Chain A
Amino acid sequence: MDFISILSIFVLACFVGYYVVWSVTPALHTPLMAVTNAISSVIIVGALIASAAAGSAGSKWLGLAAVALASVNIFGGFAVTARMLAMYKKKDKPAPPAEKQA
């Protein structure tokens, strides 16, 4: 891919991000940060490539360290997001119109 096609993907993805994120309900802004944090660990792709690079011990260990760091984030980020989202519950039933005490 040449630079211009990559740039096109990037710019279009920024717009997608813009519209998608505005549609996120403010009540879920904390989970949004946790999940964006988890997915930004896609940097692990670069870490894996660095660690798999032939003939460079330096690159390998840097890569492996980055793989471990990104893994903390991937597992931690998705798990904590799941934990938070599981807590958001609707009302079980509409509140009964109880009699007002005098």
Chain B
Amino acid sequence: MTLQPMETSDLSVAADAVHAVNPWVALAYLAAGVLFILALRGLSSPATSQRGNRFGMAGMLIAVVTTLLTHLPVTKTGGCAWPADCGPGVHWFDGVTFGEILAAIALGGAVGWIIARRIAMTAMPQLVAAFHSLVGLAAVLVAVAAFLNPGAFGILGMDGNILTVSRVEMALGAAIGAITFSGSVIAFAKLNGNMSGKPILLPGRHLINLGTLVGIVALTGVFTVAANAGPGENNLFWIVLVLSFAIGFLLIIPIGGADMPVVVSMLNSYSGWAAAAMGFTLHNTAMIVTGALVGSSGAILSYIMCRAMNRSFISVIAGGFGADDAIAGGEAREQRPYKSGSAEDAAYMLEQAEKVIIIPGYGMAVAQAQHALREMADKLKAKGVEVKYAIHPVAGRMPGHMNVLLAEAQVPYDEVFELEDINSEFAQADVAFVIGANDVVNPAAKTDKSSPIYGMPVFDVGNAKQVFFIKRSMGGVGYAGVDNDVFYLDQTMMLLADAKKMVEDIVKNLD
């Protein structure tokens, strides 16, 4: 794909006069695109990932510097580069100054940098959601700027209208950007606890959503073929924008907390498609390549998450999952006998074990128990116990959430295993140590066709000689709102306490 023809001599399209850039500029954007590919490629292994991240930074630097070099001089013809340079009758605000651009970058950059340094690793899902909303909003602003001032983007046709194909790209970029923005704001509020993680179900929501989507598509179509589409002229653009903000909001409010991995991945994908749409408008290779990369990345992550829950993408987006746990759990909630134990019992039996597999879940993140957990694992390893970690693809609130938390607690990544790699080992394990997870170890996913989680791949913890299950109380159920037969197995010992406190107590008893 790196060998696209560089000719920009097709003068049949008026706008190409503007896009007929210096081949070096096109090459620079291409280089940025290639560096972004290498950035993602680096993530195939933790060993190469840091270099990959630096490739990404280099690509961004090239893209920004190239744009500054090629576009800033243009403003000197309309205004002046610095207020001091302005001659009589020329307003410095006619064009942007270099100083203003640097100020905007410095302001945004400082905010981003400080947030990135200070954010707790457990808050990563909401941070990513917040960042997605910014990309979405930036895309909207750029699309609006292009709509108001198409000449600057080289998309103004000879007839005084915005080029037809650019209208599609612009409206799409604005719509996807708006959906990304409002959707991410809701996802952030749910993940950050500003808003309940419970699904909010409006009556007739499917009809409202479908109607709004159809409206967006239809109005975009009408806007594209409209006779009046000069700069800032056609109000349909604004209607599409408002509807898109609304649909982003409406789509995410009915989706519950544990479906957030899918939502965050989906919004990740949308932020990419928005960048790609604007790349089409600007004929910019770096933006198109990046948009395609990010778009596919988010789409693949959504797919992986859906597969790990055995749910279709449509059913996740339709929302409402986990809203009716009172009904689902109600009948099965007669008291069944279970065994509970203390930290002392658990410590004693862990010491005796040869192999322990730890299954962390979102509850570990909430309780911030990862450091205590690593301490426990260290103590056990010192006593000759083999310790492994087993991670379900949907554990936590975003893809790879548990891996980051364990890495933060300095758990070596070669002790951490994926579902399919470790599931057969439970038969040889003395203890399956479930901390803050529930649905991902529920055998109903294999046996009970009526269960909402039926078909979801789960850990076969029942094969282990013993199961320790850390849980706050017997009352709460997993996200899916179903009872878990593992609680009542003969070999299961419930450790009913706050996850962090319980693990710390076990650590004390291991001395």
Contacts and interface: CB of A to CB of B under 8 A. Distances in A.
Interface residues of A, number: 93
- What is the interface of chain A mostly: helix, strand, loop, or mixed? helix
Given A59-B149, A76-B115, A85-B53, A71 B288 contact: no
A52 B75 contact: yes
Contacts of B115: 72, 76, 80
Contacts of A26: 304, 391, 393, 399-400, 403, 418
Nearest to B271: A40
Nearest to A26: B418
A84 B382 CA distance: 27
Contact of A35 (B40, B291, B410): B40
Interface string A55-94: 1111110111111111111111111111111111111100
B108 A68 contact: yes
B45 A74 contact: no
A63 B142 contact: yes
Contact of A70 (B19, B138, B289, B381): B138
Interface of B: 1, 4-5, 8, 10, 13, 16, 19, 32-33, 36-37, 39-41, 43-47, 49-50, 52-53, 56-57, 59-60, 63-64, 67-68, 71-72, 74-75, 77-79, 93-96, 100-101, 104-113, 115-117, 119, 121, 124, 127-128, 131-132, 134-135, 137-139, 141-142, 144-146, 148-149, 151-153, 165, 264-265, 268, 271-272, 274-276, 278-298, 300-301, 304, 351, 354, 381-384, 391, 393, 398-401, 403-404, 407-408, 410, 412-416, 418
30 contacts: A1-B283, A9-B4, A11-B292, A17-B40, A26-B304, A26-B399, A26-B418, A28-B43, A29-B403, A30-B399, A32-B301, A32-B400, A33-B298, A42-B286, A45-B64, A53-B95, A53-B151, A55-B79, A55-B149, A59-B148, A60-B93, A63-B142, A69-B108, A73-B134, A76-B116, A88-B49, A89-B407, A92-B412, A99-B384, A101-B383
